[in-house]
Homo-oligomer: A and B are copies of this chain.
Amino acid sequence: MKTTHKLILLATALVGVLAFIATVAHAADSLPSWNDGKTKQSIIEFVEKVTKPGSADFVPVAERIATFDNDGTLWAEQPLYVQFVFALDRVKALSSQHPEWKAKEPFASLLKGDLKSALAGGERSLLEIVMATHAGMTTEEFEKIVKDWIASAKHPKTKQPYTEMVYQPMIELLAYLRANGFKTFIVSGGGIEFMRAWTEKVYGIPPEQVIGSSIKTKFEMRDGKPVLMRLPEVDFIDDKAGKPIGIHKFIGRRPIAAFGNSDGDLQMLQWTAAGKGARLMVLIHHTDAEREWAYDRTSSIGRLDKALDEANAKGWTVVDMKKDWKRIFPFEQ
């Protein structure tokens, strides 16, 4: 064995040992925005037992898969899903190119600012809005549109950029899991391309670890250069039963930890819970009307009803935002 190789092995072993000491000693410090209590403790205990060599619950690094819903779990989803606000802004931006929209629903009502009438057509209206604003351009063009929008749009209540409307305790949790060898994935009903434009910068989650709903694309040559055109056709809906399907399709491995906040996440948590060995299922419960929003069983956005019952029945971890989180957004003091 060459001397450099020996030194590398030695140094690598040293890093391993020191990292283990540091992890054990400072686990609690990794989650400073979490109040002490049984919620925080249930997360730390899970991570410590699956990462402890020789433990009966030990899980090899390759199998440490954690999946996170996005809207309402990693960032705020009130008063409207961020991607829906994006779509509305795009309708306004594109309206000069579409004079026919003035006489055509759902666009006519949208342009008048009448959201309720615009959505009177239900899912069909929503789909029309999505396709008019998300299809008809190349994947590169769409990425640029999202990047430009997210860099300038502001949340109506806090006037902060949407990328600041993320939950500080969850940012810490993502980093804590990764420091313990976990691969963190987003599994969201939101658009996969909409999220990939900013998740790496904001959450440290690279595009290949983002799973979401999608529309179809078509490969074609444009002036001798290959492009992928975004088509107005649904490819995959990554919500409810679609979440375990998406997890299996994209990851091909069952998560050992999963985090959600609504009934749309129930099947992902069930799928995670059904695997062998130690498991962590977590629901974020929006209980803080003052610092964030309080909503659950009757909300039209992020309804949490059946999943809350199942969490209580099965002893899953339920985060009480008001009680468990010291700080909610990064911009808070």
Contact = CB atoms under 8 A, between A and B. Distances in A.
Contacts of A193: 252
A139 B219 CA distance: 30
Interface in A244-258: 244-245, 248-253
Contact of A248 (B217, B241, B270): B217
A274 interface: yes
Contact of A253 (B14, B206, B242): B206
A241 B220 CA distance: 8
A271 B222 CA distance: 12
Contacts of A18: 4, 7-8, 11
A200 B61 CA distance: 13
A94 interface: no
21 contacts: A4-B25, A11-B11, A11-B14, A62-B200, A139-B248, A192-B249, A196-B252, A207-B251, A207-B253, A208-B208, A208-B209, A208-B253, A210-B252, A217-B249, A218-B241, A218-B245, A225-B274, A226-B267, A226-B271, A226-B274, A228-B248
Contacts of A253: 206-208
A15 interface: yes
A26 to B, nearest CB: 8
A15, A193, A248, A252: which has the most chain B beta carbons within 10 Å? Answer: A252
* Residue with the greatest number of chain B CB neighbours at <10 A, chosen from A11, A196, A214: A11
Given A11-B18, A12-B15, A267-B226, A219 B245 contact: yes
Given A62-B206, A219-B271, 18 more contacts: A4-B21, A7-B18, A8-B22, A11-B11, A65-B208, A139-B248, A183-B208, A206-B253, A208-B250, A208-B253, A217-B245, A217-B249, A218-B245, A219-B242, A219-B244, A226-B270, A228-B245, A235-B249
B208 A252 contact: yes
Interface of A: 2, 4-5, 7-8, 11-12, 14-15, 18-19, 21-22, 25-26, 62, 65, 139, 183, 192-193, 196, 200, 206-210, 214, 217-219, 225-226, 228, 235, 241-242, 244-245, 248-253, 267, 270-271, 274
| Stoichiometry (number of copies) | 2
Nearest to A273: B226
A11 B15 contact: yes
A192 B217 CA distance: 20
Contacts of A214: 249
Contacts of A225: 274
Contact of A19 (B8, B183, B241, B244): B8
